[in-house]
Amino acid sequence: MNTTAMNTTAAGTAFRPITPGRIHRWGGARLLVARFADLDGTPSLSPAERRVVHALPPRRQAEWTAGRLLAKRLVGDALAAPADEVEVLPRDDGSPYVVISGSPMPAVHVSISHTARHVAAALAPEAVGVDLCETASAPAVRRVADHVFSPGELSRIGTDRPDDLAGAWALKEAAVKADRSSVFGAAPRLVEILGLRPPVLSGRRRATVWRAQDVVLALVLARPRALPGSGGLSAPPWQHCVGAPWPAG
């Protein structure tokens, strides 16, 4: 490992732990991660959601449903919306959006991720991306590293530590999700990892990384553009939704 990568890793020997099954708040966002084995209950799916899940391959149906279970819990926690009135549906590009009582909620942003054993969902009043990457996936990340990371990023990340590789991949994936893009193609090169411990990304993005057992989780928030006539001020950290302001988080 070169000196730059050693200095990056020296800031900490491990990512902060996160407790599965509990709602966490960071930077105005709400986040929930859980193991599939620990999930209790199933979401109340609307007819539109059932049509989506029934069109998926059988192996995808359980993970899709689990992601909606977590997302609906976050909506209920943030906005006190009854679960049977909340829908989480896919846009044409596959990204999820929230509908409450039949009305789309453009000010409520959600993101969902899953691995073979874990699922995560995030909710925020601004563009948000969440991603999970198992440390066991580090060899796969290493094989495609040259296509996703720049030489400068690789020097900062290093390729020796599985948790660093998993964290870097999760950061890239979460960032392009917040941009409603894909980690494959040109989009990842538009997001530069400037630091990993703590995570720092280029552009108007805030990021954090956690560790939950053998999986690394990244959360990225894309800061809203300045409002016209606001003198450069960004949108406030809340939005009015279903008759109530976005709760402070």
Identify the pLDDT of residue 198: 93
Cβ contacts of 140 within 8 Å, gap of 6 or more: none
DSSP state of 223: P
From CA 11, how far away is CA 132, in angstroms rounded?
22
At 35, list the tokens: 């193991």
Indicate if 190 and 153 belong to the same structural domain.
Answer: yes
Residues 179, 198: one domain? yes
Pair 77, 155 in one domain = no
Could you tell me if 198 and 171 lie in one domain? yes
Strand 103-114 vs strand 118-124: parallel, antiparallel, or unpaired? antiparallel
Domain count, the chain: 2
Asked if the structure places residue 120 within a domain, the reply is: yes
142 and 83 in a common domain = no
Is the bond into 188 cis (omega within 30 degrees of 0)? Answer: no
**Residue 140: inside a domain:** yes
Residue type, 241: C
Domain-located, residue 249: no
Confidence of residue 248 (pLDDT cuts 50, 70, 90): very low
Q: Which token pair is 182?
A: 């894909």
Q: φ and ψ at 233, to 5 degrees?
A: -75, 140
Q: Model confidence over 200-213: pLDDT tens digits?
A: 999 989 999 999 98
Residues 108 and 162 in one domain: no
Beta strands (DSSP E) in 36-95 are 86-90
Residue 8: predicted pLDDT: 39
**Inter-CA distances, 197 with 9, 45, 59, Å:** 6, 39, 35
Residues 85 and 60 both lie in one domain = yes
In a domain, 134, yes or no: yes
**Backbone conformation region of residue 144, classed left if phi is above 0, alpha if psi is from -120 to 50, else beta:** alpha
Q: Are residues 136 and 218 in the same domain?
A: yes
Which domain covers residue 73, as residue numbers? Answer: 18-125
Q: Higher confidence at residue 245 or residue 47?
A: 47
- Please write the tens of the pLDDT for every residue from 39-91: 987 788 999 999 999 999 998 999 999 999 999 999 999 999 998 899 999 99
Residue 199 and residue 109 share a domain: no
Q: How far is residue 126's CA from residue 109's CA, in Å, rounded to a whole number?
A: 6
- Last residue in a domain, options 107, 125, 143: 125
Domain membership flag for residue 118: yes
- Domain assignment present for 83: yes
